[in-house]
Amino acid sequence: MDIRIAHSPDSDDAFMFYALAKDKLDTGKFHFTHTLQDIETLNRKALNGEYEITAISFHAYVYIADKYMLLPSGASMGDRYGPMIVARQPWSQDSLRGKKIAIPGTLTTAYLALKLFQPEFEAAVIPFDQIMNEVQQGSVDAGLIIHEGQLTYASQQLHKIVDLGEWWYRVTRLPLPLGGNVVRRDLGMDDIREISRLLKESIQYALDHRQEALNYAMQFARDLDTKTADRFIGMYVNERTLDYGAEGRKAVQELFDRAFAAKIIPNTIRAEFVDQ
């Protein structure tokens, strides 16, 4: 049975899916093929239910919950860290009101968190890997950075204005849920549960064989040195990635509830997870 897994071309996702990509596990009747695309493209394709398994932003889940369920492992959460706003000048956080800010996509959780933090700004959608350059060049006032940029922005002489993961923790005392993996409902619960088990095994394999999985992930590390890539992977693939836990699930629901209360999303939504 062919199962397409779609995820971002990032070192943390590559690390997470290493065991499946390199046939380290007995996957039984399932044959997994991997498609790599940026997260906003994956969000958009999930609207049409294109892939059996896909990484998505939690913001996007609001619009695809009729087609997909959340897998209980595979989440990326920022534990007092997350997407950042950076600028050429060291502005105050209040100075962001009304500014033109580059964002990596309107379905990203980073954008949703920014809207919760500061509703009044002009959004300019720019591919995530071009945002820091656009800020440097002055075509936007500030940029909302995700992925490895959270560790490398200072090397481009940019200043951190706010870390949205830090801000979220101050107001909720919870980690900031950024992205997760979802599985298409039409596969049926028996296959969904088996796929869920295999995904968790893949994450566990990478954590248990860290150097091996890290060596594989380095090809997706976008010029990070090995030490920095290992640090980045550790930020987003950890014990919480194996299982959300009660706190992680609470954080996802808190995000949805606050987004609805702020009228950023059109309807209330309950996070529905695959039961193991």
Please tell me whether residues 118 and 66 are part of one structural domain: no
Tally of domains within the chain: 2
Please tell me whether residues 185 and 68 are part of one structural domain: yes
DSSP code at position 273: B
Sequential DSSP letters for 68-109 = EEE-SS--EEESS---EEEESS---GGGGTT-EEEES-TTSH
- Answer yes or no: is pLDDT of 93 > 80: yes
Which of 157, 172, 187 lies at the terminal end of a domain, its last residue?
A: 172
- Answer yes or no: is pLDDT of 276 > 80: no
Which of 172, 192, 220 lies at the terminal end of a domain, its last residue?
A: 172
**pTM for the whole structure:** 0.93
pLDDT of residue 224: 84
Please tell me whether residues 54 and 97 are part of one structural domain: no
In a domain, 270, yes or no: no
Task: State the DSSP H helix or E strand holding residue 21, giving kind and residue range, or none if neither.
Answer: helix 18-21
Please tell me whether residues 165 and 215 are part of one structural domain: no
Query: Residue 275 — pLDDT band, cuts 50, 70, 90?
Result: confident
Please tell me whether residues 67 and 182 are part of one structural domain: yes
| 17-63 per-position pLDDT tens digit | 999 999 999 999 999 999 999 999 999 999 999 999 999 999 999 99
Q: How far is CA 117 from CA 54, 113, 272, in A?
A: 27, 6, 26
pLDDT of residue 274: 96
pLDDT, mean of residues 132-155: 91
Which of 138, 172, 206 lies at the terminal end of a domain, its last residue?
A: 172
In a domain, 273, yes or no: no
Domain of residue 59, residue span: 2-76+177-261
| 177-210 per-position pLDDT tens digit | 999 999 999 999 999 999 999 999 999 999 999 9
- Answer yes or no: is pLDDT of 149 > 80: no
Active site amino acids: 147
In a domain, 266, yes or no: no
In a domain, 276, yes or no: no
Partners of 145 in the β-ladder = 84
Residue 31: strand, helix, or coil:
strand
Q: What is the CATH number of the domain that holds 43?
A: 3.40.190.10
In a domain, 267, yes or no: no
What whole-number percentage of the chain has pLDDT above 70?
A: 100
